[in-house]
């Protein structure tokens, strides 16, 4: 990275962006928890209708979509820490896939490896900025591709389940009563 004038204005920009990412991550966890709770309650209340012929098809559909919602919401909230070997070679701090500031990337390193990598990064303002920029980028990609993607799918699954089960109930009622 070529940063002509490192300074507090850049520090503030990076700090603010990282704070926004942390807030977005917390919001995603709250939304996932909400979808888990709502789907679990609806699922629990729907099970009793499996014994009633009029409600059985709609209940099966609703239960299926609630289970799908629970799975997606749980996946969105699940920590995604890469599992690495303690025998990995020296980390390449310049690699776009290695985030020195994320515990999932550095926790497999020995303290000496971590210290050496931090010394390499902190040797210049450009290196320190680059690592922080990489962290912002990787966290943003993670939020977009993992957390929010699966939360969106969980919402979609829940809404679809409500609509489809209502349609199935109406069709079942027309067939059985008609």
At 83, is the pLDDT very low, low, confident or very high (cuts 50, 70, 90)? low
How many C-beta atoms surround the C-beta of residue 112 within 10 A?
Answer: 8
Radius of gyration for the chain, computed over Cα atoms and rounded to the nearest angstrom: 24
Give me 111's structure tokens: 């303290």
Identify which of 81, 90, 84, 87 has the alpha carbon closest to the alpha carbon of residue 119. 90
pLDDT value at residue 152: 97
pTM of the model: 0.80
Q: For position 81, what pLDDT does the model report?
A: 65
Dihedral of CA atoms 168, 170, 175, 178 in degrees, nearest 10, equals 180
Least confident of 4-8, 53-57, 137-141: 4-8
The separation between the first and the last C-alpha atoms of the chain, rounded to the nearest angstrom, is: 72
pLDDT reported for residue 1: 65
pLDDT tens, position by position, 89-133: 666 777 777 888 888 888 888 999 999 989 988 888 888 888 899
Question: Where exactly are the structural domains of the chain?
Answer: 8-177
Q: How do residues 163-174 score in pLDDT, each as one tens digit?
A: 999 999 999 999
- Decide: 100 and 117 in contact? Cβ < 8 Å: yes
Calculate mean pLDDT across residues 138-143. Answer: 90
pLDDT digits (tens, 9 = 90+) for 50-67: 999 999 999 999 999 999
Percentage of residues of the chain with pLDDT beyond 90: 58
pLDDT score, position 103: 83
Please report, rounded to a whole number, the percentage of residues in the chain having pLDDT higher than 70.
Answer: 93
């Amino acid at each position: 990275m070529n940063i002509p004038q490192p300074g507090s204005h850049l520090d503030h920009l990076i700090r603010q962006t990282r704070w926004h990412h942390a807030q977005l991550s917390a919001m995603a966890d709250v939304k996932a928890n909400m979808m888990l709770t709502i789907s679990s309650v609806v699922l629990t209340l729907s099970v009793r209708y499996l014994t009633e012929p009029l409600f059985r098809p709609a209940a099966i559909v609703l239960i299926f979509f609630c289970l799908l919602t629970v799975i997606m919401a749980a996946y969105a909230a699940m920590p995604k820490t890469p599992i690495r070997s303690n025998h990995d070679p020296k980390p390449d701090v310049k690699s776009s896939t290695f985030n020195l500031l994320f515990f999932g990337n550095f926790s497999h390193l020995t303290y000496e490896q971590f210290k050496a990598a931090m010394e390499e990064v902190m040797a210049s303002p450009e290196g320190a900025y680059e690592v922080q920029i990489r962290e912002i980028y990787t966290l943003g990609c993670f939020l977009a591709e993992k957390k929010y993607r699966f939360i969106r799918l969980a919402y979609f699954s829940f809404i679809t389940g409500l609509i489809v089960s209502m349609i199935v109930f109406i069709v079942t009622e027309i067939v059985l009563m008609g």
